Structure 1
Amino acid sequence: MDIEEPMTPDPLTPRLPRRTMYQWFEESALRLPGHTALEIGDEVLTYAELRRLALVLAARIVRKHGGVPDRVALVAARSVGAYAGYLAIQRLGAAVVPLNPDHPQQRNLDVAQRAGVTVALVEERAAELFTRLPERHRPTVLELTEDERAEDDLLEEALEEALPPVPSDLAREAYILFTSGSTGQPKGVPILHRQFSPYLEHNIPRYEIAPGSRLSQVFGLTFDAHAFDLFVAWGGGATVVVPSAADLYTPVDFIVGRKLTHWFSVPSVVREAQRLGNLPLGRCVTLKHSLFGAEPVTAQHAALWHEVAPHSRIHNVYGPTELVICCSNHLLSGPSSAWPEYTGGTVPIGTMYPGMEGVLLDEDGRECDEGELCVRGPQRFDGYLDPRENTGRFLSYEPGGRAAVYDGSGPLTDRHWYRTGDRVRREGDVMVHCGRLDQQVKVRGHRVEIGEVEAVVRRHPAVVDVAVVALATAEGETELVAAYAGRETDPARFDAWLREQVPLHMVPARLTRLDALPLNDNGKTDRNALARILGTPEGS
């Protein structure tokens, strides 16, 4: 059976109060101090231990910085220090600006400077990152030691006295993520606590999160879904279980070995495990809920996962970073043979979350059954870090009327609709994703602007002109391929240069030199012709 109605708590259950991210964690930590909050490999931390570690780090920040910062870079991944550091920043009421230690250094520095961070928590391998900046522009840097628990012997009461009051201002920034930007520069997306809290209020009961629940933490901290993994779990008193990079190639073994009750990943994790022969059927019997998002979920792979985890409800969740992780959901349960078929063979993105409004608009700005999905509601962000990026990304629209594109000349209000850039079709009571309206694509679950990749390739001294296109592989994945005009360059060296400029998922799989890029009748790059040229490994 195909279920579209969201699960809701009993109507007599009191509504969850709105809180800051740290308050969601602390309420569970004070209520369930001896329960397990975090598992990484062989390390297991209770809520009390993780809370104390966060307090120690928060006190270190205040001491070294000489006060409470507004924005803090967190350059760490998949370690106790990374998660305690995240909570320490939240305990101070500051915004987390996650940076991936594996991303190119210059990109990380650019993001940190755009965000205006004044403090950075860094793991050992990133300890020298900020030394590349002139001293007057460097943030206060604190290195995360291997075991912060030995760093401070202050009593918990003394730690609390050294810190400001527990943050309660929902209008403050919770975190800032940077998404791929069409201008060649990443765009900063600040998310406030008042936008994040409604997301938790909806999802904790929806996915039946409670003490004893065990949730995967697959997503990196620069990927917005990390906040689901951490704070849906901690807000409900559950355990966050962190896989290693190797575990993601054998997800079934990890789920079974760790007795997970909830799994959340991009669907490509399933496809890759299937390709490697690491997807045995019927073993994930502890899973109650499986969530997939960040890229289209095919009915074929949903049916396969149903055989892998026969007792699990399967959710396709949808939403850009600007709408706090997810704003719609489609639920599948029962035998896959009974699931309806939808356009393109994909699982619908479903129906909007409570309080969130979605409308489909055609090119003329009028409501239609297939068009651009535009969204507003309590989870919608207030605008980009650089207000100039807001122009063209929002609409004014009232039912029955015609939309007007926001031009930046007036204030941006809650009544404005955010333009997702996604083409969506309404089929029955659900929405089906039909692709992108612009040049933004998903590569291995990451949102990538073609224009940003082109801007970086264009900086190479051998390149005169460049165009990048996204092609479908035989495995159903999306890969980037590039053609450039200019001086012949060794592909391996070119590839190595690109890996120093952008994250791996933004590096084109192939770089082909052409005498000239194909043009259409308007003199613009003919991307359809280019896709045909690059559609073979030889590029001919």
Structure 2
Amino acid sequence: MSTIPTLYDWFAESARRHPDRLALRAGGLDFSYRQLTAAAAQLAEDIVARQGRRPARVGVFVSRTAGTYVAYLAALRLGVTVVPLNTDFPPARHARIARTAGLDLLLHTAVDADLAEAVGTQTGTARMAAPDEHRGPTAPAGPPEEYRPDPDELAYIVFTSGSTGTPKGVPIRHRNVAHWLPYVLDYFEAGPDIRVSQTSDLAWDLSVWNVFLPWATGGALVVPERTELLAPSRHINDDGITHWFSTPSSIVTARMLDDLIPDTMPGLRWSCFGGEPLTLDKARAWRDAAPNSVIANVYGPTETTVTCLTYRAPADPLRWPRAALGALPLGPAYPTVECDLMDEEGRPADEGELLIRGPQRFDGYLDPADNVGRFTRWRGDRWRMEEGEPLTEEHWFRTGDRVRRTDNGYVFLGRMDNQVKVNGYRIETGEIEAVLRQHDAVDEAAVVPWQAEDGTVELAAFYVGDQAGQEDLEGFLAEQLPTYMIPPRLGWIERFPLNVNGKIDRHRLVEMALTMADV
């Protein structure tokens, strides 16, 4: 392995050390490291033969089939930049991504053939199918030297939602991953005996944790069907899952389906949650079902390479601190990042917007126009950014998350853009959600601002739980909150709509609030 390994180097080293161990289970197929290496090598050769050259950037449609992971690995073996494409998105969105990223090849499996054809037709991008079956008995452990990328080259590009409606490309380099991965492997006790559940799609960067925690250490990646993730205990037990990483919303769903029965997941060693506040009641419900598991609250924007803060909860739930919003803390920063806090005036603070820099921080969005307002630099008296200023290692990424510095590291207080003004009062919607969760009728809650026809901002609250408790809940809010913080619209829903990353879809809730207003 080179001084700074590429993403494929991590896998190749495991394949060299553990050729016959299980590397992948997906779509009813098991691949050893030897078999997966062979399949990826054959597909890589087929790509070069078909294209007449090595492509520069490859889009991979990400289904839950073995072929998706063969395609992903083949692209990394060729040393090209991988762009995962979520198959839930319409062709028009993929076409925008393909043009923005400059894709010159689309890899797909049989289940995504029609989508790939539609995108290829719209963009003129070549496409190629990746087989699911085992191909070839042996293959070299590493890629040919002519395909080995420089560590400064891009490993992958993840596209996130943009405020303008256009997806934003987040490029991550091999060196970013190389600074992040060794610490993560040690912290989460990764090794050849681990089995990690692929709870997310490859199009979300959380999946990099799921994939390379096992692939960098000789462990196994298990890709369940989406339906298995709704009530995961059977999957976790049948597949011998040791490490789990998902959004806290998965706990709500599992609890609704009566799947979190105490002591039903004794084999889990690590239970990690991120993307949303991990409230104490959710963490306790999961801990009861997985009593031998470490509960970890994990934080990290895509722009800082997957994760950068983690709070490891004490084994005894009675010792868990109660942080803001009734949630566990975010924890301290990894040694590979620097963190600081900035108030609204750009000055240092103990409570404010979280700023991050260091070797895990990306070098800016694919479209430089998206960098505006997302970076800052210390000027001796405050943080500020000059117009047109080029990005350097000295610049801090503005996360948009409001946090507080405490003895337990950092505590999440809410999104900067979730702080709204209603009738002149500044309100943090997360504070209202925390109060709602204290009521016995509420399993989970979400509060969203919406704009009335007269231009005024109002609040709407939604909750999952006991519908019969709604009338009592309204009185409860009146006892706990000042009048200006009580949402005038409160609605029960059977379950929250989720976006493609498994988080509560707040845009959909705003649409539902508008519907409530019309009734």
State the TM-score bracket (shorter-chain normalisation).
Answer: 0.7 to 0.9
Which string of whole-angstrom CA distances, capped at 9 and with x for unpartnered residues, describes residues 72-95 of structure 1?
A: 000131111101111100001111
Show the counterpart of 2:383: 403
Query: Which 10-residue stretch deviates more, 134-143 or 254-263?
Result: 134-143
What are the equivalent positions in structure 2 for 1:417-456 lying under 5 Å apart?
Answer: 417-438=396-417
Aligned-partner Cα distance in 2 for 1:136–1:37: 36
2:208 is matched with 227
**CA drift at 1:156:** 3.6
Name the CA distance, whole Å, in 2 between partners of 1:286 and 1:235.
21
Give yes or no for contact 1:18–1:201 (8 Å, CA) kept in 2. Answer: no
Residue of structure 1 equivalent to 2:349? 368
Shift of 1:229: 0.6
| Residues 23 and 167, structure 1, Cα contact 8 Å, conserved in 2 | no
- 1:99, 1:222 within 8 Å by CA — same for their partners in 2? yes
Moved more, 173-182 or 15-24: 15-24
Q: How does 1:259-298 map to 2 (within 5 A)?
A: 259-298=240-279
Alignment-mate amino acid for residue 413 of structure 1 = T
Residue 97 of structure 1 aligns to which amino acid in structure 2? V
Taking the aligned partners of 2:415 and 2:81, their CA distance within structure 1 comes to 31
2:82 maps to a residue whose letter is V
C-alpha contact 2:106 2:120 (8 A) present in aligned 1: no
Once the two structures are overlaid, the 10-residue window that deviates more, 421-430 or 238-247, is: 421-430
State yes or no: 1:475 paired with 2:454: no
TM-score normalised according to structure 2 size = 0.81
Do 2:332 and 2:408's aligned partners in 1 also have CA atoms closer than 8 Å? yes
> Which among 21, 25, 33 is matched to residue 39 of structure 1?
25
C-alpha contact (below 8 Å) 2:94/2:119 kept by paired residues: no
State the one-letter code of the partner of 2:374: R
Secondary structure at the aligned position of 1:351 is classed as coil
Distance 1:342 1:509, change over 3 A: closer
What whole-Å deviation, never above 9, does each CA across 1:267-296 have from its counterpart, x for those lacking one? 111111101212111121111111100111
Distance in 2, matches of 1:506 and 1:300, equals 22
The answer to whether residue 90 in structure 2 is matched with residue 104 in structure 1 is: yes
Provide the residue aligned with 2:495 in structure 1.
none
The secondary structure found in structure 2 opposite 1:223 is: coil
Q: What is the rounded CA distance, in whole Å, between the counterparts of 1:281 and 1:22 in structure 2?
A: 40
What is the CA-CA distance between 1:504 and the residue it aligns to? 11
SS at match of 2:417: coil
Distance 1:16 1:437, change over 3 A: farther
Distance of aligned partners of 1:467 and 1:210 in 2 relative to their CA distance in 1, 3 Å threshold: farther
Conserved? CA contact 1:424–1:431, under 8 Å: yes
Shift of the alpha carbon at 1:71? Answer: 0.6
Task: Check 1:154–1:50 CA distance in 2 against 1; reply closer, same or farther (3 A cut).
Answer: closer
Amino acid at match of 1:34: D
C-alpha RMSD of the superposition: 3.1
Equivalent pair of 2:109/2:129 in contact (CA under 8 Å): yes
- Unaligned stretches of 5+ residues in structure 2: 420-428, 431-447, 466-498
- CA shift at 1:384, angstroms? 0.3
> How do 1:49-64 and structure 2 match up within 5 A?
49-64=35-50
| Comparing 277-286 and 379-388, the one that deviates more | 277-286
Aligned-pair distance for 1:355? 2.5
Do 2:95 and 2:123's aligned partners in 1 also have CA atoms closer than 8 Å? no
Cα distance in 1 for residues equivalent to 2:293 and 2:2:
25
Secondary structure in structure 2 of the residue aligned to 1:295 = coil
| Paired residue type of 2:414 | G
Paired position in structure 1 for 2:186: 205
Rounded Cα–Cα distance in structure 2 between residues aligned with 1:166 and 1:262: 32
Identity of aligned residues (%): 38
Q: 1:281 to 1:429 in 2, by over 3 A?
A: closer
1:310-325 correspondence to structure 2 within 5 Å: 310-325=291-306
8 A contact 2:70–2:130 mirrored in 1: no
Given that 2:70 and 2:132 are in contact with CA atoms closer than 8 Å, whether structure 1 keeps it comes out as no
- Code of the aligned partner of 2:410: M
1:169 match: secondary structure = coil
Q: 1:406, 1:418 → 2: CA distance?
A: 14
Q: Distance in 2 between matches of 1:467 and 1:340?
A: 38
CA distance in 2, matches of 1:136, 1:63: 24
The letter for the 1-side match of 2:384 is: A
Gap change, CA 1:205 and 1:406, over 3 Å in 2: farther
Quick one: which of 339, 348, 356 aligns to 1:358? 339
Alignment of 1:337-356 (within 5 A): 337-356=318-337
Q: What is the SS of the residue equivalent to 1:337?
A: helix
Q: 2:64 aligns with which of 40, 65, 78?
A: 78
Q: Offset at 1:129?
A: 3.6
**Equivalent residue pairs, number:** 456
- The CA deviation at 1:322 is 0.3
CA contact (8 A) 1:121 1:143 kept: yes
| 1:40–1:242 contact (8 Å) kept in structure 2 | yes
Show the 5 A alignment for 1:185-196: 185-196=166-177
SS across alignment from 1:112: helix
Does the residue aligned with 1:426 lie in a helix, a strand or coil? Answer: strand
Change (3 A) 1:134 1:225: closer
Q: Is the 8 A contact 1:55 1:160 kept in 2?
A: no
Q: 1:134 to 1:342 in 2, by over 3 A?
A: closer
CA contact (8 A) 1:391 1:406 kept: no
Aligned mate of 2:218, from 237, 248, 256? 237
Q: What are structure 1's unaligned runs of at least 5 residues?
A: 1-14, 443-449, 455-463, 477-498, 513-533
CA–CA distance in 2 between the matches of 1:200 and 1:175?
15
Partner AA of 1:296 in structure 2: P
Deviations 1:133-158 (A, max 9, x none): 686942221012342x35xx69746x
Match of 1:334 in 2: 315
Distance 2:95 2:515 in 1: 37
After TM superposition, the runs of 4+ consecutive aligned structure 1 residues lying more than 6 A away are: 133-136, 464-470
For residues 365 and 68 of structure 1, do their structure 2 counterparts lie closer, same or farther at Cα, with a shift above 3 Å needed? same
Give the aligned residue type for 1:403. Answer: W
Distance 1:135 1:355, change over 3 A: closer
* Distance in 1 separating the partners of 2:454 and 2:375: 31
Judged with a 3 Å threshold, the aligned counterparts in structure 2 of structure 1 residues 465 and 142 are, in CA distance, closer, same or farther, namely farther
Report the TM-score when normalising by structure 1.
Answer: 0.78
1:159-188 alpha-carbon deviations (Å, 9 max, x no partner): 989x55352511010100111111121110
Secondary structure of residue in 2 paired with 1:438: helix
Q: Distance in 2 between matches of 1:465 and 1:165?
A: 63
Question: Does 1:121 find its partner at 2:101?
Answer: no
Identify if the C-alpha distance between structure 1 residues 435 and 155 changes in structure 2 by more than 3 Å, giving closer, same or farther.
closer
State the distance in 2 between where 1:179 and 1:133 align.
Answer: 19
> Which structure would you say has the larger RCO, counting Cα contacts within 8 Å and 6 or more residues apart?
1
For residue 297 of structure 2, give the secondary structure of its aligned residue in structure 1: strand
